[in-house]
Amino acid sequence: MIRCWGPLSLLVLWCLIALLGPLFPLTPNQIDLPNILTGIGSQAWLGYDDLGRPMFDRLVIGARTSFIVAISVVTVSFIMGSLLGTCSAYIGGVVDLVLVRMIDIFLAFPGILLAIALAGMMGPGIENVVIALALVGWVGYARLARAQVLSVKEQEHVVAAIAIGTKPLGIISRHLLPLIMAPLIVEASFGIAGTVIAEAGLSFLGLGVQPPAASWGSMIRDGTRYMLVAPHMVVVPGLALMAVVLAINIFGDWLRDWLDVKAGTRHTSRS
């Protein structure tokens, strides 16, 4: 049970910080010159950065950035990918062929380099990061949904539904989507972890949010220049990033087992 509640509580904390952060009197951009590079201590929870800005406040703002990017990227790519995959597998024929080729084309670009290229081409900024990551991300869901539908649509209940004259839309929404949701949701939960890291990576390269806004990736990037005198500038956002991603991964892992048991399939791998 700790595999569920431990990570889940951390994730809820992450969401709350991200959503309620602006309600608190935070001063992420207030420069406090005497405190430049001050480490973790009694004056401020997590110390100050190279411009004398409080790390704790910036960490909260960074949580907001990563949360917004992760949720919007996964939502967009999840809906786009699963709808396209489901419809094309259900309709079949030329439509399916076109989608498969499209997926092939997207996969023919090397992963992170495509996101970097898109973000770099559109110029830095948080909305461009979302667009770039969603454009790269939908392919996974489409492929998974397509493979799932291909195996489900030959089952008797779907044939029966067709036989009694159910409309295609009804078949997709009532007879196909509920059955293929479990693996897609698991994929989405891992997708959130992947997006958090990818956003941090893009921000680390300078393609994400622009100063003075904060992201955990850009905080690490800023910190690397002062790593030897103020290691907390790298360690604090890095640990935050790691904790969130680890929590999502463990939670997704638990979710996969849980849904697997529910689906009644053979339960061989516990991991």
Asked whether position 198 contacts other proteins by CB under 8 A, the answer is yes
How many Å apart are CA 87 and CA 48, to the nearest integer? 52
User: Containing H/E element for 131?
Assistant: helix 126-152
Residues 160-189, mask of contacts with other proteins (x by CB under 8 A): -----------------------xx-xx-x
Minimum distance, C-beta of residue 34 to other proteins, in the bound complex (Å): 26
Rounded to the nearest 10 degrees, what angle do helices 2-20 and 55-91 cross at? 110
- Helices and strands, number each (H, E), in the chain: 10, 0
Point out which residues pair with 54 in neighbouring strands.
Answer: 48
> Shortest approach of other proteins to residue 27 CB, angstroms?
26
Nearer Cβ to other proteins, position 116 or 176? 116
User: 149 vs 213, which CB is nearer to other proteins?
Assistant: 149
Q: Which of 53, 64, 146, 175 binds other proteins (CB under 8 A)?
A: 146
Candidates 108, 163, 164, 169: give the one binding other proteins (CB under 8 A): 108
Residue 39 CA to residue 28 CA, distance in Å, equals: 16
Does residue 7 contact residue 254 with C-beta atoms inside 8 Å?
A: yes
Beta carbons of 207 and 119 less than 8 angstroms apart: yes
Q: Which of 195, 209, 214, 230 binds other proteins (CB under 8 A)?
A: 195
If one asks whether residue 121 binds other proteins (CB under 8 A), the answer comes out as yes
Nearer residue to other proteins within complex by CB, 22 or 110:
110
